[in-house]
């Protein structure tokens, strides 16, 4: 069971890290600005997931604290950028 | 009055989150939780949320149900969209439709929009304060019906939570 | 012999130099002041007479003041016959010149300045000749250069005066630098600076391999000062000085400083071939140049200046000799020249002052108008002409005698006498010009004949005294005391006793014959002057050393221009040069550890762990997305890629594993993204598009340059990384300590946090100050400096809706309530997170910095969602300046508290357990908590300053506007903007 | 208990990853930004929530933080999707084909 | 592996320097961030040993060297301060010089 | 009170002042009073620190937080750092007092004095810290506060100067960080005393050389050594006068301090190579700076270029490496700080009297007419800069020449001689332009301007130090005798 779990965790981790590459590609070659922004947003979701996986691997909940900070701030920054894109200004 | 209520609610909410995050129910930590909640409420001076205090148990139950529905919606939503994505034909019929939630308050509209966005195939693009939502649907032709139904249930729960 | 009295003459004059400033500023008439002032040099003269009577050959009077014992330096004075001779001339003629100045400037109430300069100069000059060691000498030497600069430039409103003053300073100052080097060198070889030591180390000096250089340096100083060819040209230019200054500086004193120095050092540096040829050569050439050029002049003072140059050449040539008679000639020349030349200068001043011109062509027949002055001129002029029975005759005789001395080497021996004859003849003709043409002949320019009258008695009496002395010394049969005094002086210069007799008539001799030849040919020159002088104007104009001087200055200016052109204003160019220089230095220092790199390569572990692969992959992602920022054209796209790169770096850090840093990296990445985009909103789109175009249209060489620099820098870092990684594990002398002591000593589980707020809290204390300075700076810059400068932004193409809740969207729609909901929830949540991070930061990731940034970003989110004004109104406590101040103050107080209750500044103290407070477990009310609060507040203040100012730079701000108005009233109004 | 947690974690891990992949796939496959937002804003978030569940069950002492994180995610994800969609609409990014658009006529005219 | 890491971090630094040398001032600012990141990565590699667990007390296994982490944290804060001030200056420069082209910012020369 | 506190106070007092200044930012009078009091007491403590060092004949060491070195951060006032701190505080106090009488608008901004005190904190801290990374923090504090203060200058180009300065400083900071990292990776410590010990024990590890060059270049950028000088003329000129006076006199001396530390403490084995580089670069700087000063068109800029040259002199002195030449460099450093700050204040004071506020010579021509006393001061400062007695500049030059001769560095001495002449050229030209030439056209000077009492005091100090130079010379020789014995420093920090 533990071995399986371990294997799955690593596999999941590698899959998610690999998917980051897709996001980079998206930001590089997105159709338009919104597409790229979506790429960035999904990147932070992936990073969140990876942080959780690291927490699992390390068996340490401190990575959750990192993840909370990430989640709160990525929402803020994505919305702020959406605002900029729509409005050419932030506030 | 209303703002004091809001402040108390925020205090409680903050205290709960604090306790969740610190994972410690010592009496001193409870005190700390409330002190922190009060301090933050004082600093932010909330003025919007007002929970129906008089019917607290009911409100709590409704809240739980509401959250459950949300989760369920999210699950459904994930599965539905996932199916679409996996389908090689990509069976979508997207479009933006207008939905009148009937909510009068800002908060109500917001919560509706929030819930709607979590539901399968719906995404609020624009909204105003009077309950009008403009929703991008993956399946524009028959979503109106579904949305209306779901909306009704949520509306009822929300009205039980909030005054 | 030691005598403290030696300082008195110097003090007397030094005091006098200060007095005009202190007491006479525009109160008294110049004449009265001058008479009063003259008491001081006169007193000094008297003192010096008394002191010099105590001097006997070989037994100077000295006094030494300890000055810089660490450097073995003292200030000392020294009086032997040689220095007494010069000192007496300085004070004696100085007295006359001071009085003369009073008359010269009698109508000018601001001349107290001139008197002050003159007396300062006199102090320097007296100090120079009385100095007892070469450093003291040098100090006063430079003093004469500086004060003469002020005197020559006294009439500074004229371009001529300024240029001449600068010229003199440039030449003598340059010489001074050489001299200093030479003197220090002498001192280092001799082992001391005082004369006694130096005079005793003649052999060591002459034997030193550096002797030629030392001699060159000293000669450079002395010969430039004494206006020797080819540096003589500053002296005629220095005639721009008021005549009293010329009469003093350029006859008796400053120009003789070089002579004095050479004479002084002759016993220790002289008596070598080099010395002989150098001084004789320069001296003879100068003599001829001065004599020749002087005869061409139309300006009385220029004529006198050149004749001075001629005489100075004679003196230098004398010092070059190693025969007794030359030193007799030297001292006699020095004295005779001082007497007649000061008289002549003062006379020229009278002529100039009374007639308004010094032009020979306009002057003539003044004897009728000013008989007394002309008598003085006649006597002094005859002395200059070298005619008996005047003292000048004796000077010329001894010179000729020297030139005929059998010991001279053949070529010099053949040339010297005839050069002396030629110079003598020209000098005679010159004095004819001065005396006859001015006072007795008719002006050649009849259109503008000069008119004038006799000056006040005091004025002509002053030149009369030296003139009469010239006559008296010649006429008196044998002034025994003077002769022995001069003999002593000559002996001091010669290094062994010299016999001096002042008898004019020594019988028929070869010198006399030459003298007669000189007088005869001088008369012929004078008679044919009207033909010769115009011819000379065209002949040999080539000796234009001024052109050389100008070329040198132009060369300097050219070089200067080249250097300043290097400062071309382009930051990129600067950075490129610096990075390249860094590379060059690295190569020159052979700092790249090539041989180690070789050693390390095979030892690289081959089998990487799973985590390693992930690490390298995330690193690759980070690099890739940074690289993308180069290629993405639009700035916003690049910023998005940058944001991803930052996140990838955060992941790498999380995998390291370093959760604390990962959290901060994430937060900072978000902050950086937000404020970068925010600053995009501040730059007008056309501007950005233009910059983008230019960036992507860079030339190939430019790209190559930047690329090479980038690759080079990259290799540098790669090397650093590679070596650090390959040599792992290394020993850290500190980390084990931190790991072992974090929990027991600071109560922190988070070792990194413990380092930040405990072990290296001093870093953190000032790091937040840096952050505070940045925030405060942005506020000062955008809210004060920019406003004051009236910086005008181009009008906003999309003005804000007047609504307090500005729309998210285009059409004036309000922000959606969904976002309101999120914003409402995020701020308290952010604050809660912040509180938790501060409270439990010692056990988990997050610290005060994270806390502050999280809150400020949530506040920034409110700006976005609710609008700036609403947020400001809703959160009145958000006052960045105070937050910063309070934050740092808490940091400081925290440090002090732990001094009181702990073991020292910023030492760990747990106040909670100290006071037995029932606190939640895991939370310590300790110094680190206080510190985290301090950090959080400071960072919050600063970050909100940053957001406010970048987002709303032109936000109406009554506070700064009011202050700026006050400032505008307080300061003196400016009439316009800076032009260039 | 531990075993149960491990099983939950395993399932959540696998399911979450599947959704996560689906989200990315959706981002790549769906035709325009609005439809892609459905994928990233819901599928991926759902994946994340599942992985969070896995995290909670497999990491000691993470329940509170995990729940808060889930709540935060659920709160913010719709808002983010909404904000992006709104920005896309207002910058005039078109939908892929000519589908009904009831919003167009309700927007005030551009000045 | 070490070589790869070294090349990667070196490349990142090189990209930062290259961006720093662009005419577009925004690119320079971007370069600044990239440089900061690269240097922070380098600082990590100076850690005395490769850790297995985070630098917390009471964890099993080799902790990662905490000192470089603390240094990086300090350096990050400082560079953020500087970075935001640069952005402020960019605004003023844009207003005063009417340009975002680094080469045009040359009011001061000679 | 323990005397080890003396080493913290020169840092903490300005910091406290900055905080109080921020709190009182709306009460300008009070802010100024607090600032002045703070800086004067910081000066007093620096003096006390130097006296303590000299009386007890041992460094004053303070382990911050009580952590033993090398784990914690050590503050150490040895002879060298106490001396440099005293020098800095003198000029800092002078600059701040000058600012109180300055007519510039930016000095009235509420953040001006706090930021100035932050600069003071940074400078003092960088000199007193015994930890390389801590020095980075303090250096950054200097960079940011200096950049801010220059950017808000009344001069429109201030922001440009600050921008360039910032980027170039960024380069410097990066090099320092790289160096710190390399040193930590190699020797496992950042404490300078500890580093010294480790490097002496193993002077030839792979990254030692690179770390050394990076650190060297860091200090070169800080001291604006040619060719790392490009920021300096702009930055020192565009700043408001009291700040220019600080920047060009003491702030650039951080590098000088660094060079001395590098050659006498950190890199003892490599010191000869470093010295060689210093001599070469110093000589280049001496000539380039001199020419630049002559070629420029602005009085303050002239003085900034002059600083390039003067730093070149100091570098050469350090590079010659003999005890006497080191002493000469120290004397030069001290004297230059006084002279240069006074000269910049005078130039700025004149600019404040010009019709159009500017230090450009074309504007300044004839401005001095209204203030002849300032002319006297400028003249004295000029001859002091050129090393002419009876000023302290002469003492510098004298010791310098003596040591150069002793070091048998004839070529560099020749260059330095030429540079001295260049100094004379530009100072006197500047003097003549401002005080002797007639203003062109109808340009009128203003009736008032910056108060000039501070430069007057500084020039007086220059004269006093010219006549009574023994204390300074003696002190510098003491410092050098300590530098000769790095074990003293190491022992004081690490004990044992
Ligand atoms: Na902490
Ligand atoms: Na922490």
Tokens of F192: 């300078």
The per-residue pLDDT for C532 is 86
Position A2 pLDDT exceeds 50: yes
How many CB atoms lie under 10 A from the CB of residue C810?
19
Chains C and D touch (3+ CB pairs under 8 A): yes
* pLDDT confidence band for B128 (50 / 70 / 90): confident
Please check whether residue C445 is in contact with residue C362, taking contact to mean a CB–CB distance below 8 angstroms: yes
pLDDT digits (tens, 9 = 90+) for C471-504: 988 887 777 888 899 999 999 999 888 888 888 7
Chains F and C touch (3+ CB pairs under 8 A): yes
The whole-angstrom separation of Cα C455 and Cα F214 is 75
Per the CB < 8 Å rule, is E107 touching F160? yes
Which residues of chain C does F435 touch, with a Cβ-Cβ cutoff of 8 Å? 156
| Torsion angle of C-alpha atoms B129, B132, B138, B139, degrees rounded to 10 | 160
How many CB atoms lie under 10 A from the CB of residue F451?
18
What value does the mean pLDDT take over residues C52-60? 86
CA count, 13 A, side-chain hemisphere, F496:
7
Containing structural domain, residue B18: 2-44
Position C599 pLDDT exceeds 90: no
CA C655 to chain centre: 57
Position C869 pLDDT exceeds 90: no
The per-residue pLDDT for F293 is 95
pLDDT digits (tens, 9 = 90+) for C158-188: 999 999 999 999 999 999 999 999 999 999 9
- The phi-psi region of residue F68 (left if phi > 0; otherwise alpha if psi is between -120 and 50; otherwise beta) is beta
3-state secondary structure of D30: coil
The per-residue pLDDT for B108 is 79
The per-residue pLDDT for C542 is 47
Position B150 pLDDT exceeds 90: no
Q: Residue for token digits 């306790």?
A: B19
Chains with ≥3 Cβ pairs under 8 A against A?
C, D, E
**Residue C230 preceded by cis peptide, ω within 30:** yes
Indicate if B38 and B59 belong to the same structural domain: no
The per-residue pLDDT for C632 is 92
C-alpha C727 to ligand 2 mean position (Å): 29
Which residues of chain F does C789 touch, with a Cβ-Cβ cutoff of 8 Å? 154, 156
Tokens of C620: 């690759």
Indicate if B40 and B72 belong to the same structural domain: no
What value does the mean pLDDT take over residues E58-80? 93
Which has the minimum average pLDDT: A59-63, D99-103, E48-52? Answer: D99-103
Which residues of chain B does D77 touch, with a Cβ-Cβ cutoff of 8 Å? 118
The per-residue pLDDT for C32 is 86
C-alpha C887 to ligand 1 mean position (Å): 16
Please check whether residue C917 is in contact with residue C829, taking contact to mean a CB–CB distance below 8 angstroms: no
Please check whether residue F451 is in contact with residue F318, taking contact to mean a CB–CB distance below 8 angstroms: no
The per-residue pLDDT for F16 is 95
C-alpha C844 to ligand 1 mean position (Å): 7
Q: First vs last Cα of chain A: how many Å apart? A: 53
Position F86 pLDDT exceeds 90: yes
Search chain E and give the residue with CA nearest C609: E1
C-alpha C935 to ligand 1 mean position (Å): 11
Query: How distant is the Cα of E49 from the closest Cα of chain A, in angstroms?
Result: 18
Search chain A and give the residue with CA nearest C658: A63
Position C972 pLDDT exceeds 80: no
Which residues of chain E does F185 touch, with a Cβ-Cβ cutoff of 8 Å? 45-46, 48
Helix axes E25-45, C659-682, angle to 10 degrees: 170
Chains D and E touch (3+ CB pairs under 8 A): no
Kindly state the greatest CA–CA separation across chain B.
Answer: 60
The whole-angstrom separation of Cα C770 and Cα C756 is 15
3-state secondary structure of C558: helix
Taking a contact as any Cβ pair under 8 Å apart, which residues of chain C between 919 and 978 contact chain B? 919-923
The per-residue pLDDT for C58 is 79
Residue F447: DSSP 8-state? S
How confident is the prediction for chain F on average, in pLDDT?
Answer: 93
Map out the domains of chain A as residue ranges: 2-87
Query: How distant is the Cα of D4 from the closest Cα of chain B, in angstroms?
Result: 22
Chains with ≥3 Cβ pairs under 8 A against F?
C, E
Residue D38: which of D49, D26, D56 has the closest Cα? D26
Position F5 pLDDT exceeds 80: yes
Per the CB < 8 Å rule, is E71 touching F180? yes
The per-residue pLDDT for C980 is 35
Could you give phi then psi for residue F380, rounded to 5 degrees?
-65, -40
Position E2 pLDDT exceeds 90: no
The whole-angstrom separation of Cα C425 and Cα F123 is 70
Tokens of C428: 């005679």
Please check whether residue F74 is in contact with residue F63, taking contact to mean a CB–CB distance below 8 angstroms: yes
Considering only the beta carbons, identify the residue of D72, D82, D87 that sits closest to C818.
Answer: D82
Angle at F305 between CA F301 and CA F310, to 5 degrees: 140
pLDDT digits (tens, 9 = 90+) for C789-840: 877 666 655 555 444 444 444 344 567 888 888 998 899 999 999 999 999 9
pLDDT digits (tens, 9 = 90+) for F311-357: 999 999 999 999 999 999 999 999 999 999 999 999 999 999 988 88
Chains F and D touch (3+ CB pairs under 8 A): no
Size of interface A-D (CB pairs under 8 A): 141
Interface membership of E85 toward F (CB under 8 Å): yes
What value does the mean pLDDT take over residues C573-584? 96
| Torsion angle of C-alpha atoms F114, F119, F123, F125, degrees rounded to 10 | 40
Query: How distant is the Cα of C635 from the closest Cα of chain D, in angstroms?
Result: 17
Interface membership of C69 toward F (CB under 8 Å): yes
Which residues of chain F does C170 touch, with a Cβ-Cβ cutoff of 8 Å? 421, 424-425
C-alpha D86 to ligand 1 mean position (Å): 39
* The length of chain E, given as a count of residues: 110
Indicate if B119 and B95 belong to the same structural domain: yes
What value does the mean pLDDT take over residues C279-283? 95
The whole-angstrom separation of Cα C54 and Cα C67 is 26
* pLDDT confidence band for B163 (50 / 70 / 90): low
User: Residue C910 pairs with which residues in a beta bridge?
Assistant: C926
The per-residue pLDDT for C803 is 44
Query: How distant is the Cα of A15 from the closest Cα of chain C, in angstroms?
Result: 11
Interface membership of A60 toward E (CB under 8 Å): yes
Return the higher-pLDDT residue of B104 and C642: C642
Residue D45: which of D63, D64, D27 has the closest Cα? D27
Indicate if B58 and B33 belong to the same structural domain: no
How confident is the prediction for chain E on average, in pLDDT?
Answer: 93
Contacts of C350 (CB under 8 A, 6+ apart): C370, C373, C455, C459, C460, C463
Which has the minimum average pLDDT: B57-66, C751-760, C893-902? Answer: B57-66
* pLDDT confidence band for F173 (50 / 70 / 90): very high
Taking a contact as any Cβ pair under 8 Å apart, which residues of chain C between 875 and 914 contact chain B? 875, 877
Residue C555: which of F313, F418, F305, F379 has the closest Cα? F418
3-state secondary structure of B88: coil
Which has the minimum average pLDDT: A60-64, C26-30, C283-287, F153-157? Answer: C26-30
Which residues of chain A does C665 touch, with a Cβ-Cβ cutoff of 8 Å? none
Search chain D and give the residue with CA nearest A71: D73
Could you give phi then psi for residue B131, rounded to 5 degrees?
90, 5
Interface membership of D93 toward C (CB under 8 Å): no
Angle at F243 between CA F240 and CA F247, to 5 degrees: 130
Position C407 pLDDT exceeds 90: no
- Could you tell me the pTM of the whole model? 0.95
Position F118 pLDDT exceeds 60: yes
């Amino acid at each position: 069971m533990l071995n399986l779990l371990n294997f799955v965790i690593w596999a999941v981790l590698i899959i998610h890290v690999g998917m980051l590459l897709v996001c980079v590609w998206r930001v590089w070659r997105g159709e338009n600005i919104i597409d790229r922004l979506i790429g960035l947003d999904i990147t932070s979701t992936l990073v969140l997931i990876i942080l959780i996986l690291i927490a699992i691997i390390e068996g340490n909940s401190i990575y959750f604290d990192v993840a909370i900070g990430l989640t709160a701030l990525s929402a803020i920054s994505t919305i702020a950028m959406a605002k900029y894109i729509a409005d050419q200004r932030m506030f | 009055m209303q703002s004091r209520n809001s402040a108390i609610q925020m205090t409680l909410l903050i205290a709960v989150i604090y306790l969740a995050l610190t994972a410690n129910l010592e009496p001193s930590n409870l005190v700390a939780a409330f002190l922190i909640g009060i301090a933050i409420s004082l600093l932010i001076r909330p003025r919007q949320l007002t929970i129906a205090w008089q019917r607290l148990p009911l409100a709590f139950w409704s809240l739980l149900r509401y959250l459950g529905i949300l989760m369920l919606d999210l699950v459904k939503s994930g599965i539905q969209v996932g199916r679409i994505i996996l389908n090689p034909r990509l069976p979508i019929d997207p479009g933006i439709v207008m939905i009148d939630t009937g909510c009068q308050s800002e908060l109500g509209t917001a919560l509706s929009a929030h819930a709607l966005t979590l539901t399968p195939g719906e995404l609020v693009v624009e909204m105003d304060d009077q309950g009008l939502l403009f929703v991008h649907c993956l399946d524009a032709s028959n979503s109106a019906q579904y949305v209306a139904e779901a909306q009704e249930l949520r509306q009822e729960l929300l009205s039980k939570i909030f005054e | 012999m030691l005598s403290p009295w030696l300082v008195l003459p110097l003090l007397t004059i030094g005091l006098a130099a200060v007095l005009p400033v202190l007491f006479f500023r525009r109160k008294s008439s110049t004449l009265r002041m001058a008479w009063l002032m003259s008491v001081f040099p006169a007193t000094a003269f008297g003192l010096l007479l008394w002191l010099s009577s105590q001097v006997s050959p070989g037994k100077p009077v000295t006094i030494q003041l300890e000055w810089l014992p660490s450097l073995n330096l003292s200030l000392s004075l020294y009086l032997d016959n040689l220095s007494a001779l010069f000192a007496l001339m300085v004070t004696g003629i100085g007295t006359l010149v001071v009085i003369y100045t009073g008359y010269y400037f009698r109508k000018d109430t601001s001349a107290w300045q001139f008197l002050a300069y003159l007396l300062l100069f006199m102090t320097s000059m007296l100090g120079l000749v009385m100095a007892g060691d070469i450093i003291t000498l040098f100090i006063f030497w430079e003093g004469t250069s500086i004060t003469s600069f002020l005197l020559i430039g006294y009439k500074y409103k004229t371009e001529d005066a300024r240029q001449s003053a600068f010229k003199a300073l440039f030449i003598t100052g340059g010489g001074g630098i050489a001299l200093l080097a030479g003197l220090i060198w002498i001192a280092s070889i001799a082992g001391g600076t005082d004369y006694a030591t130096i005079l005793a180390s003649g052999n060591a000096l002459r034997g030193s391999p550096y002797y030629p250089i030392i001699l060159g340096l000293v000669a450079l100083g002395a010969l430039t000062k004494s206006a020797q060819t080819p540096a003589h040209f500053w002296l005629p230019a220095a005639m721009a000085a008021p005549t009293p200054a010329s009469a003093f500086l350029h006859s008796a004193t400053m120009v003789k400083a070089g002579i004095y120095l050479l004479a002084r050092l002759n016993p220790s540096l002289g008596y070598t071939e080099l010395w002989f040829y150098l001084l004789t050569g320069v001296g003879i050439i100068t003599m001829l140049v001065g004599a020749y050029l002087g005869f061409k002049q139309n300006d009385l003072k220029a004529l006198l200046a050149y004749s001075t140059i001629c005489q100075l050449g004679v003196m230098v040539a004398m010092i070059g000799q190693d025969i007794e008679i030359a030193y007799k000639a030297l001292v006699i020349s020095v004295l005779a020249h001082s007497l007649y030349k000061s008289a002549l200068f003062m006379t020229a001043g009278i002529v100039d002052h009374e007639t308004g011109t010094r032009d020979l062509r306009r002057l003539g027949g003044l004897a009728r108008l000013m008989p007394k002055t002309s008598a003085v001129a006649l006597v002094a002029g005859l002395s200059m002409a070298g005619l008996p029975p005047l003292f000048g005759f004796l000077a010329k005789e001894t010179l000729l005698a020297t030139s005929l001395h059998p010991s001279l080497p053949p070529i010099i021996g053949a040339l010297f006498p005839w050069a002396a004859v030629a110079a003598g003849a020209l000098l005679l003709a010159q004095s004819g010009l001065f005396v006859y043409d001015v006072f007795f002949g008719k002006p050649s320019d009849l259109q503008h004949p000069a008119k004038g009258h006799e000056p006040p008695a005091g004025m002509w009496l002053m030149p009369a005294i030296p003139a009469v002395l010239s006559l008296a010394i010649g006429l008196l049969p044998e002034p025994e005391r003077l002769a022995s005094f001069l003999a002593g002086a000559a002996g001091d210069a010669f290094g062994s006793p010299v016999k001096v007799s002042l008898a004019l008539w020594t019988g028929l001799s070869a010198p006399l014959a030459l003298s007669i030849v000189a007088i005869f040919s001088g008369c012929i020159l004078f008679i044919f002057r009207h033909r010769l002088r115009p011819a000379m104007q065209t002949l040999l104009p080539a000796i234009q050393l001024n052109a050389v001087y100008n070329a040198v200055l132009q060369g300097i200016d050219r070089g200067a221009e080249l250097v300043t052109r290097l400062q071309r204003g382009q930051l990129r160019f600067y950075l490129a040069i610096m990075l390249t220089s860094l590379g060059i230095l690295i190569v020159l220092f052979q700092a790249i550890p090539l041989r180690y790199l070789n050693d390390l390569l095979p030892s690289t572990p081959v089998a990487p762990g799973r985590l390693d692969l992930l690490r390298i992959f995330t690193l690759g992602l980070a690099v890739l997305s940074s690289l993308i920022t180069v290629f993405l054209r639009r700035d916003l796209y690049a910023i998005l890629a940058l944001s991803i790169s930052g996140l990838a770096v955060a992941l790498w850090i999380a995998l390291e594993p370093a959760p604390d840093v990962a959290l901060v990296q994430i937060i900072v990445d978000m902050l950086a993204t937000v404020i970068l985009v925010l600053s995009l909103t501040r730059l007008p789109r056309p501007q950005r598009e233009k910059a983008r175009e230019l960036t992507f249209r860079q030339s190939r060489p430019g790209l190559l340059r930047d690329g090479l620099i980038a690759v080079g820098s990259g290799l540098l870092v790669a090397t650093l990384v590679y070596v650090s990684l390959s040599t792992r594990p290394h020993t850290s002398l500190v980390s084990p300590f931190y790991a072992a002591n974090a929990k027991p000593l600071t109560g922190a589980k988070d070792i990194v946090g413990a380092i930040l707020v405990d072990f290296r809290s001093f870093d953190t204390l000032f790091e937040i100050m840096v952050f505070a300075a940045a925030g405060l700076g942005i506020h000062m810059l955008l809210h004060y400096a920019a406003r004051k400068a009236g910086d005008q932004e181009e009008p906003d193409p999309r003005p804000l809706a007047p609504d307090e809740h500005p729309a998210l969207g285009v059409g004036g729609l309000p922000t959606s309530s969904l976002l309101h909901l999120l914003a409402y929830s995020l701020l308290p949540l952010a604050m809660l997170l912040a509180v938790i991070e501060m409270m439990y930061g010692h056990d988990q990731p997050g610290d005060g910095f994270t806390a502050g940034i999280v809150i400020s970003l949530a506040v920034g989110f409110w700006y976005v969602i609710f609008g700036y004004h609403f947020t400001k109104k809703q959160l009145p406590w958000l006052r960045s300046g105070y937050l910063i101040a309070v934050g740092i103050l808490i940091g400081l107080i925290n440090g002090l508290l732990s001094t009181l209750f702990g073991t020292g500044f910023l030492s760990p103290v747990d106040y909670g357990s100290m006071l037995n407070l029932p606190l939640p477990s895991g939370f310590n009310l300790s110094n680190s908590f206080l510190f985290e609060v301090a950090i959080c507040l400071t960072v919050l203040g600063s970050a909100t300053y940053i957001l406010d100012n970048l987002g709303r730079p032109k936000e109406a701000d009554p506070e700064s506007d009011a202050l700026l108005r006050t400032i505008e009233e307080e300061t003196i109004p400016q009439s316009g903007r800076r032009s260039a | 208990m531990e075993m149960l947690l491990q099983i939950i974690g395993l399932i959540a891990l696998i399911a979450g990853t599947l959704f996560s992949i689906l989200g990315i796939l959706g981002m790549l496959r769906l035709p325009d930004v609005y439809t892609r937002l459905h994928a990233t804003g819901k599928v991926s978030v759902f994946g994340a929530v599942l992985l969070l569940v896995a995290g909670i069950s497999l990491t000691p002492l993470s329940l509170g933080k995990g729940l808060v994180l889930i709540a935060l995610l659920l709160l913010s994800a719709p808002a983010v999707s909404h904000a992006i969609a709104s920005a896309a609409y207002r910058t005039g990014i078109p939908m892929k084909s000519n589908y009904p658009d009831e919003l167009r006529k309700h927007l005030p005219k551009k000045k | 592996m070490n070589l790869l890491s070294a090349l990667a971090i070196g490349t990142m630094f090189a990209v930062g320097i290259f961006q720093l040398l662009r005419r577009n001032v925004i690119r320079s600012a971007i370069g600044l961030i990239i440089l900061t990141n690269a240097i922070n990565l380098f600082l990590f590699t100076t850690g005395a040993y490769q850790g297995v667990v985070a630098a917390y007390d009471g964890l099993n296994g080799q902790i990662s060297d905490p000192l470089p982490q603390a240094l990086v944290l300090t350096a990050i804060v400082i560079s953020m301060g500087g970075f935001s001030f640069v952005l402020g200056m960019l605004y003023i420069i844009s207003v005063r010089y009417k340009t975002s082209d680094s080469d045009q910012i040359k009011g001061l020369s000679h | 009170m323990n005397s080890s506190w003396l080493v913290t106070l020169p840092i903490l007092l300005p910091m406290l002042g900055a905080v109080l200044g921020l709190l009182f930012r709306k009460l300008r009078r009070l802010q100024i009073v607090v600032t002045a009091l703070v800086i004067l007491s910081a000066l007093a403590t620096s003096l006390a620190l130097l006296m303590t060092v000299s009386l007890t004949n041992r460094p004053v060491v303070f382990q911050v937080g009580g952590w033993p070195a090398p784990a914690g951060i050590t503050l150490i006032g040895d002879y060298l750092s106490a001396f440099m701190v005293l020098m800095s505080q003198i000029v800092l106090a002078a600059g701040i007092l000058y600012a109180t009488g300055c007519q510039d608008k930016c000095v009235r901004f509420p953040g001006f004095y706090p930021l100035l005190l932050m600069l003071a904190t940074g400078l003092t801290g960088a000199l007193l810290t015994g930890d390389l990374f801590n020095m980075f923090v303090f250096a950054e504090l200097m960079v940011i506060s200096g950049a801010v203060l220059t950017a808000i200058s009344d001069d429109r180009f201030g922001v440009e100067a600050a921008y360039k300065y910032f980027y170039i400083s960024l380069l410097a900071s990066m090099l320092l960080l790289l160096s710190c990292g390399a040193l930590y990776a190699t020797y496992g410590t950042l404490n300078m005393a500890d580093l010294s010990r480790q490097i002496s024990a193993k002077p030839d590890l792979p990254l030692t050389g690179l770390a050394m060059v990076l650190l060297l270049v860091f200090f070169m950028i800080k001291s604006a050594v040619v060719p790392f000088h490009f920021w300096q003329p702009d930055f020192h000129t565009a700043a408001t006068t009291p700040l220019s006076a600080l920047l060009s006199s003491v702030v650039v001396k951080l590098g000088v301090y660094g060079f001395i530390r590098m050659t006498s403490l950190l890199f003892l084995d490599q010191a000869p190579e470093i010295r060689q580089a210093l001599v070469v670069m110093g000589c280049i700087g001496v000539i380039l700076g001199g020419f630049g000063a002559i070629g420029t068109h602005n009085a303050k800029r002239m003085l900034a270029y002059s600083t390039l040259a003067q730093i070149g002199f100091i570098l050469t002195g350090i590079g010659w490496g003999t005890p006497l030449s080191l002493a000469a460099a120290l004397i030069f450093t001290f004297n230059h700080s006084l002279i240069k700050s006074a000269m910049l204040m005078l130039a700025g004071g004149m600019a404040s009297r010009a019709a159009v506020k500017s230090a450009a010579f074309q504007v300044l021509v004839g401005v001095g007419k209204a203030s002849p006393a300032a002319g006297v001061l400028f003249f004295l400062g000029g001859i002091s800069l050129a090393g002419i007695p009876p000023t302290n500049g002469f003492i510098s030059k004298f010791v310098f020449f003596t040591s150069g001769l002793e070091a048998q560095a004839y070529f560099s001495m020749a260059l330095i001689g030429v540079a001295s002449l260049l100094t004379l050229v530009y100072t006197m030209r500047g003097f003549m332009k401002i005080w002797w030439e007639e203003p062109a056209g109808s340009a009128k000077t203003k009736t008032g301007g910056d108060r000039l009492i501070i430069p007057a005091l500084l020039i007086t100090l220059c004269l006093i130090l010219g006549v009574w130079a023994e204390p300074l010379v003696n002190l510098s020789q003491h410092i050098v005798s300590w530098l000769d014995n790095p074990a003293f420093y190491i022992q004081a920090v690490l004990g044992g």
